[in-house]
Amino acid sequence: MTKISEKVESLLNKKVSRRSALKAMALGGVAMAGGSLLSSCGGEKKTEATTATPEGLKEGKVTMRTNPKNGDDISLLGFGCMRFPTLSNGRINEELTQQMIDYAYEHGINYYDTAWMYHGGDSQRVIGNCLRKYPRESYFLANKMPPSAQNLADAKRIFQEQLDLCGVEYFDYYLLHNLQRQSQWDDFYVAQGVYDYLLEEKKAGRIRRLGFSFHGSPELMEYLLNQPVDWEFIQIQMNYLDWEDPNMQARELYEMIAAKDIPIVVMEPIRGGALASMGERLVEMMTEERPELSPAGMALSFCATYPAIMCVLSGMTAMEHVVENVNTFIDFEPLSQKANDTLLEVARLHKANPSIGCTQCEYCMPCPYGIDIPHIFQIYDRTSQELNLPDPNGPHDKEFMRKRRLFLNRYKNTIAERATAEFCINCGQCEPACPQRIRIPRQLDRIESLVKQLKHI
Ligand code: SF4
Ligand code: SF4
């Protein structure tokens, strides 16, 4: 087993050049030109004096923010427990996950976000086990009532099972998971008394803070904000790609919540990893602004710079992600207005290359007909973002043939024979589950047409 220190060593060798490290040191403690967007969500704390090592890896703990509603000191970087590393049999790699959680905890991350459906429910057991050795009051554990709960009895059973799976007596932050439609609130939480039940659990001390996670429209957000309910926090999808996107409307949602002084937890800040691997030209634009940050670091910093953000969740899959993200959040440097604007320009250029925007969340799975939806979209998006997508209507020159071969080989080698887009029967069952509002059958049809065209060239 590789030691953490060796992992860190390898990260340094791979990701942080000496030049950028020295530049980072030179910038340490100096306000960025152009001014910062940051004031803060209830106040910001830098827990310890920190220094940058000569290699660019900072020492100390991540920056904290205080929840203005209740005084909780929360780490600005939170650990999303949806994408733990897995073994070849698909089970969570618990040994590596433990090492990652230990590193995160030791560097001040104190907010851990799990859910009933992450890793088929196993995320809850694993994060509970990983945190057990630490004092219960030293971390915040978030969990969620799943949209699959049918009625009050179901909700009660699930809540108890969640406590048992995590091995805890209470959840610090508890969310109504994935609100997308008004009927979820009206019919399930209100009419069936599930919200009242959760309030009882709060009175009994088994829930400390109640909020919701959201994938709906601004109209629905308005409706929920106007309910006679004291929302203590709200979790939304926010990243620089969705900020001005007319479908996702992240900016509008952020502003509506911030206007009510409700602290915000961010999910999908790197959009399922898509913003970590941008095209070369776009990376250059980002590097000019903040040379010490990777594209993932820029994406996380975009969210954390906004003052109503209490915590930015990152679903970390490898030790390298934890080390790099922690480094970004030690003595967190907010983005300047200029860097913020550059990211919005990067988003506009990125959108000029058609990508589907699948975050690999797998909420649409399993498809009853066996279609491997997330992987099909992943191959398409990755190829597009690398500017390697072949255009069958353009010239069929050498470059086109290279792209054609690359795309078809990826498709054939990754997707099982009967799980390709060709076998989608357009039943539409998957579509309502998609929080990104992707028109799944339509996109699969588009990809299938492309594959067919390319095969016949
Ligand atoms: S529309 Fe296609 S991908 Fe979606 S559930 Fe039906 S067969 Fe599967
Ligand atoms: S298509 Fe939608 S629901 Fe399915 S994995 Fe992608 S983002 Fe998630």
Domain membership of residue 434 as a residue range: 373-455
Alpha carbon nearest to ligand 1 atom 2, residue: 424
- Within this chain, do residues 330 and 275 fall inside the same structural domain, yes or no? yes
Output the pLDDT for position 316: 95
Coil/strand/helix, residue 288: helix
Using the predicted structure, report yes or no on whether residue 78 has a pLDDT greater than 50.
Answer: yes
Instruction: Flag whether 358 is in a domain.
Output: no
Report the domain count for the chain. 2
Residue 204 confidence (pLDDT) above 90? yes
Q: Which residue has the higher pLDDT, 209 or 14?
A: 209
- Would you state the pLDDT for residue 31? 28
Q: Give buried/exposed letters for 358-381 (b at 16+ CB in 10 A, else e).
A: bbbbbbbeebeeebbbbbbbbbbb
* Token code pair at residue 161: 């099972």
Q: Give the pLDDT mean for 152-181.
A: 98
Sign for the CA dihedral angle at 31, 36, 39, 40 comes to negative
Between 330 and 351, the more confident residue is 330
313 and 428 fall within a common domain: no
The reply to whether 286 and 173 lie within a common domain is yes
Looking at the fold, whether 338 and 377 belong to one and the same domain comes out as: no
**Statement to judge: residues 340 and 387 lie in one domain:** no
Give the pLDDT of residue 41. 54
Ligand 2 atom closest to Cα of 433?
A: 3
The answer, yes or no, to whether residue 79 has pLDDT greater than 50, is yes
Answer yes or no: do 396 and 347 share one domain.
no
Say if residues 383 and 406 touch (Cβ distance below 8 Å): yes
Mark whether 403 and 345 lie in a shared domain: no
When pLDDT is averaged across residues 302-312 and rounded to a whole number, the result is: 98
Tell me the average pLDDT across 141-159: 97
Q: Which of 180, 363, 424 to mutate to test the pocket of ligand 2 (most atoms within 8 A of CB)?
A: 363
Confidence (pLDDT) at 387: 78
pLDDT of residue 27: 33
State yes or no: pLDDT of 17 exceeds 50: no
The label of the residue with tokens 């604007």 reads 341
Is 357 contained in some domain? Answer: no
Q: Is the CB of 438 under 6 A from ligand 2?
A: yes
Indicate which CATH number applies to the domain containing 23.
Answer: 3.20.20.100
Ligand that lies nearest to the alpha carbon of residue 365, given by its number in the listed order:
2
Clarify whether residues 93 and 233 are in a common domain: yes
- Measured from the CB, is residue 427 less than 6 Å from ligand 1? yes
Determine which residue's CA is closest to atom 6 belonging to ligand 2: 358
Indicate which ligand has the atom closest to the C-alpha of 421. Answer: 1
Are residue 377 and residue 273 in the same domain, yes or no?
no
Residue type at 385? Q
Q: Give the closest residue to 148 by CA, choosing from 139, 137, 160, 157.
A: 157
Question: Does ligand 1 lie within 6 Å of residue 369's CB atom?
Answer: yes
Task: Tell me: pLDDT of 59 over 60.
Answer: yes
H or E element that contains 236: strand 233-237
